[in-house]
Amino acid sequence: MQLLIQFSRRFLYRHPGQLLLALTGIAAGVAVVTGVALMRDVLMQSLDAAAEALSGTDSMRIEQPGGPLDERLFAELATTSGAPDLIPVLRTRARYGDQILEWLAIDPLSLSEGGPMRLSGPATGALVGGERTAMTSQRTLDRLGLEIGDRITVRAGGADIELELTAAFEQRRELDNRLIMDLANAQHLLGRQGELSWIEAPANARDWLEAHLPEGLVMVDSQQRRDSAARLTQGMRTNLTALSLLGLAVGLFVVHAVLSFLLVQRRRQIGMARAIGVTRGQLGRLMIGETLVLAGLGALLGLVLGTWLADQLVGLVRAPAAELYGLVTTSHVMPTWPVYGGIFLLALGAATASTASVLRAALGIPPGLLSRQSDGQVSLTRPVRMILVTLLAGAGLVAILFSTALAWVLFGMFLLLCACALLAPTLGMALIRAWQHFRPLTLSGRALGMLGAARQRLGPALAALSLALGLSAGIAMMVLGFRVAVDDWVERLLRADTYLTLSQGRIGPELFDQLAEWPEIESLSSVRQRDLGEGVNLAAYDTPEPAWQGFEWLAGGGESAREAFLTGQGLLVSEPLARHRNLQIGQSIDIPTPDQTFSAQVVGIYRDYASDRGTIALHNAVYRDLFNDPYRDSIGLYFADDIDRDALYQRLGELDEAVVTTDRHEVRRQTLEVFDRTFRITWALAVLVGIIAAIALISALLALGLERGREYATLRALGLTRGGLARWVMVQTTGLAAAAALLAVPISLMIHAVLSLAVQPRAFGWSVGFTLPIGPWLVLIPLALLAGLLAGIYPAWKIARRDPAGMLKGN
C-alpha cells in the first residue's frame, strides 16, 4: 500500500494545475456554504445577542403582547420581596447614515455586579454622565469610523437625535451595532416616558415570576427567542442555504471533472498496477483516500475562505435583516466548531459521492490495459439516463406542485436540476453536433466535431456550466420579475400626492385635524404601525376612497368590506399573513390589546410585499380606541384640483420645522432602494456560483487541452498553423460556453418559474405574477461567449506555442 500511495502522490505532484483546480473547486463550494451558514447563525443569534450581553445566555424576558410594558410594573416587581435581579430595557432601532443600529436603554444600576455586562464604575459613570451619552463596542466605533467623544446624529422613532459616545466596550462582539444608553435618558429623548420594551430576568426566576406577574404578561425564554428569530428569517435563510448548497454542488462538479480526467491520464498505469497484482480493494482504498485528502484540504481552505466571506455576507444582509425583520445583527460572525465540523464532513461526504462514478470506472479497468482511450469508461446508457431523467423530473414536479412545505419545494427544484444535469451533456453535444453539421468543412465545424468526441470528459463541465449559468440567470429573472411586481404594487398603493412625517417624533392628532380643514387638501390618509410580535405588523389606516382603491384584493374587498372595516367589524390581512395562518374571508382573528383581546372577521386579503410575516390592518378610529394611541406615523395628502402646489408645500413647511414631505415618486424610489438592498446578497451568491462555474469551465478546458494534446500535435504536424490551432481551441471553448449558455436558457426559465411561483409564496407568503424579464439572457449569452473566449486564450496560447515534435514524442 505504501508503494501505491507513493504512486498516487507522485502522479498528483506531476499534475499540479489539475490538483489546484480540484482544490479550488471544492474550496469555493465549501466557502459559499460556510459563508452562508455562519451568516445564517448571525441572523439567528441577533435577537438574542443583546440579551446575552445583559444577563447571560440563559435569561428570559417579560413582555406585554402587542405593546410596551408600563414602567411601573418594574418598580412593583423589583420592590416585591424575594425579587430576582431584573433589568428594565427599552429597545428601538436607530439609523446612523445608512447603518441600522439597535438602541438598548437600560438602568445601569440594575445590572448585577457579577453579570455578563460587567460594567465598571467608570463605565457606569460614562453611561449616566449626561443626557445624551451612549456607549457601543470598540468594533462598531472602528467600523463606523468614530471615536470616543464623537457626537453623532441618529434617526430613531421618527426623530433626529444627537448622542455623544462616551465609552466603548472592548471585546464585546455581541454588542456590535448596538448603542447602550441610560434608560431614563433614552425614554426622554425618544418621548417614551414610562415605557419599557421588556424586563430581563434570570431563567431560574421562572417560578417566582409566574407567581407574581399580573395576567396578560408573557415570559419568553432564550430558546423561544431563538425560535422566533428562526421563524422570522426562515424564508431568507432557507433560500440562501439552498443557494449555497447549489454552489457546493457546482464546486463538486469541478472535483468530479478533475478526478475523472486524472483517471483517464493514468488508466494505463492503473491497468499495469492491476496486472502486477494490485487488487480492486487496494485500488478502491487508494482512490477514496485520494478523494478524501483532496476534499479535506479543499474543505479546510474553504472553511478559512468561508469565514472571511461570512463577514462580507453579514455586511450585505445587515440592512435587509433590520429593514425586513427588525433584527440588528453583529458585524462579525461567531464561528463554532460544530458548524465547521458539520461542513467539513458534508464536504468529505459530498466529494466522495460525487466521485463514485470515477471510482467505479477505475475499478472497472481491466488488468494490463495499455490504452489511454476512454473505452470501458462507465457511463449511463441512453435508456437508463432517460428513465432517470423522467423519474427525477417527475418526482421534482410532484414535490413542487403538491407540497406546501418550502423544504420540499426546494428539494423538488434540486431534483429538477439533477434531471437537467443528466440531460445537459446529451443536449449540449447535440447542439455542438448541429453546429458542426451546419458548417462541417470549416475550421470551426471540425473543431466542434472534436469536442463531440470528448463527451465523457466534457459532460460534467457542460452540466456544471449550464446549471450555474441557468441558476445565475434564473435568480436574476426572479429578482427582476419580483422587482417589477413590487414596483407595480407601490405604484398602485401610493395614491396620495405627498406623504408627511415629522423629523421629531410622532404626528399628534392636532396636526391631522388641522390639515383636514385645509381647502387645498381634499382628503387625508394615514398609517400608524405597531409590532404584534413574531414580526406581525398591525397597521391602523385612515382610508379615504382613493387610498382604499390602492389595495389590490386577492380575496374579499369591495364596498361591504369597506363598511365593515370602517366600523371595526372587519379586518384586512395581507397575503403573507393569510398564507402563514391559512386565513380565509369570514374567519375571525384576535388582536391582543393592552386591555383586552379584540376579535373581528377578515373581510379582505390584499397584496402586500412590505412584510413577509404579514400585516393586520384595521381602521384608525378603531385602533385609537383599542390602544389608546392617538398618534400617526405618516399622513398621505390628497390635493384638491387646480391648487398652487408650491404655495401648499410652502404652507406645509411653515407648519412646523419638523415637518418632512416626501412625494410618492420619492417614496417609490426609496422602496425600490430597500428592495435592491434586500437582494444584494442574492446577487452576491449568484455571482459566487458564476465564479465556481468559471472554475469548472477552465478546469474542463485545461483537461481537454491536455487530454487532446496528441491530436493537436498531429494537426500541427499535418500543417495546421499555430494561429489556426489557437483559433481551433478558442472555437472549442467558445462553442462549449455557447452550448452551456443555450442550455442555461430553459434551465433559467424553470428556476425563475419555480422560485417565483412556488418558492416565494411558501418562503415569504406572497405571490408574484410570472413575468419574463429577458434581460438576464441578453447578458448571460454574450457573457458566456466572452468567458468561453477568454477561458480559451490561455490554453490556446499554451497549446499553440508547444512544439509539435515534442508533443508527439512526449505523447
Partner 1 sequence: MGNSSDQVLVLDDVSRRFRTGSETVGVLEGLTLSLERGQRLAIMGASGSGKTTLLHLAAGMDRPDSGRVALAGRDLANLPEPDITQLRARHVGLVFQDFNLLDSLSVRENIELPLWLNGLKIDRDRLDALVGLLGIERLMARLPESLSGGEKQRVAIARALIHQPDLLLADEPTGSLDQTTAETVLELFDRVARETGATLLMVTHNREAADLCERTLHLRHGVLHPD
Question: Which positions lie near partner 1, rule CB under 8 A?
Answer: 373, 375, 441, 446, 449-454, 710-711, 713-723, 803-805, 808-809, 811
Q: What's the grid cell of residue 735?
A: 462553442
Q: How far is the CB of 795 from partner 1 (least distance, A)?
A: 17
∠ CA 71-594-544 to the nearest 5 degrees?
A: 120
Contact 44, 233 (CB under 8 A): yes
Residue closer to partner 1 (CB basis): 226 or 446: 446
Number of Cα atoms under 13 Å in the Cβ half of residue 246: 37
Smallest distance, Å, CB 718 to partner 1? Answer: 6
With cell 471585546, the residue in question is 171
Alpha carbon distance 653, 659 (integer Å): 6
> What contacts 15, CB < 8 A, 6 or more positions away?
262, 265
CB of 383 or CB of 806, closer to partner 1: 806
CB of 294 to partner 1, least distance (A): 29
Among 301, 310, 439, which residue's Cα sits nearest to residue 33?
A: 310
CB of 717 to partner 1, least distance (A): 6
Tell the smallest beta-carbon distance from residue 464 to partner 1 (Å): 22
Q: Smallest gap, in angstroms, from Cβ of residue 726 to partner 1?
A: 12
CB of 808 to partner 1, least distance (A): 7
The smaller minimum CB distance to partner 1, of residues 47 and 448, is found at: 448
User: Between 276 and 718, whose beta carbon lies closer to partner 1?
Assistant: 718
Nearer to partner 1 (CB atom), residue 580 or residue 708:
708
Cα 740 from Cα 785, distance rounded (Å): 10
Minimum separation from the CB atom of position 714 to partner 1 (A): 4
Q: Which is nearer to partner 1, 55 or 374 (CB)?
A: 374
CA atoms lying within 13 Å on the CB side of residue 732: 30
Q: Give whichever of 723 and 769 is closer to partner 1, judged by the CB atom.
A: 723
> Phi first, then psi: what are they for 224, rounded to 5°?
-65, -35
Residue 204 grid coordinates:
431560574
DSSP 64: B
With 0-12 / 13-18 / 19 or more C-beta atoms within 10 angstroms meaning exposed / middle / buried, residue 341 is exposed
Distance (Å, rounded) from C-alpha 629 to C-alpha 625? 8
CB of 699 to partner 1, least distance (A): 20
- Could you give the 3-state DSSP secondary structure of residue 59? strand
Q: What is the DSSP secondary structure assignment for residue 765, as one 8-state letter?
A: S
Distance CA 606, CA 141 (A): 43
Comparing CB distances to partner 1, the nearer of 212 and 372 is 372
Largest CA distance in the chain: 101
Q: How far is the CB of 451 from partner 1 (least distance, A)?
A: 8
Nearer Cβ to partner 1 (422/451): 451
The Cα 299–Cα 549 span in angstroms is 55
Minimal distance, residue 704 CB to partner 1, in Å:
11
User: What are the C-alpha distances in Å from 425 to residues 252, 262, 356, 456, 729?
Assistant: 16, 20, 18, 9, 19
Report the amino acid identity of residue 476.
Answer: A
- Cβ at position 410, least distance to partner 1 in Å: 40
Nearer to partner 1 (CB atom), residue 434 or residue 717? 717
Q: How far apart are CA 712 and CA 791, in angstroms?
A: 18
In the complex with partner 1, the residue whose CB is nearer, 442 or 569, is 442
Of the pair 493, 713, the CB lying nearest partner 1 is at: 713
Contacts of 504 (CB under 8 A, 6+ apart): 158, 159, 160, 658
Q: Given the complex with partner 1, which of 359 and 431 has the nearer CB atom?
A: 431
Degrees to nearest 5, angle at CA 310 with 414 and 329: 105
Cα of first residue to Cα of last residue in the chain, in angstroms, is: 29
CB of 373 to partner 1, least distance (A): 6
Residue 368's φ and ψ, nearest 5 degrees, are: 85, 10
Helices 234-265 and 2-13 meet at what angle, rounded to 10? 100
Report the nearest approach of partner 1 to the CB of residue 719 (Å): 2
| Measured distance CA(143)–CA(185) in Å, rounded | 26
Among 790, 725, 804, 643, CA closest to 446: 725
Q: Identify which of residues 105 and 713 has a Cβ nearer to partner 1 in the complex.
A: 713
Considering the complex, state which of residue 714 and residue 767 has its C-beta at the smaller distance from partner 1. Answer: 714
Residue placing its CB nearer to partner 1 in the complex, 458 or 758: 458
Nearer to partner 1, 381 or 811 (CB): 811
Grid cell, residue 97, equals 447614515
Three-state DSSP state, 162: strand
CB of 253 to partner 1, least distance (A): 23
Which positions ≥6 away from 75 have C-beta within 8 Å? none
Q: Give the rounded distance of the alpha carbon of 702 from its chain centre.
A: 33
CB 28 within 8 A of CB 688: yes
CB of residue 428 to partner 1, shortest distance in Å: 15
H runs (alpha helix) in 708-774: 709-718, 722-753, 760-763
Angle at 731 between CA 728 and CA 737, to 5 degrees: 145
Radius of gyration of the chain measured on its C-alpha atoms: 32
Q: How far is the CB of 374 from partner 1 (least distance, A)?
A: 9
**How many residues does the structure list for the chain?**
811
Residue with cell 505504501: 2
DSSP label of 507? B
Q: CB nearer to partner 1: give 298 or 804.
A: 804
CB of 434 to partner 1, least distance (A): 16
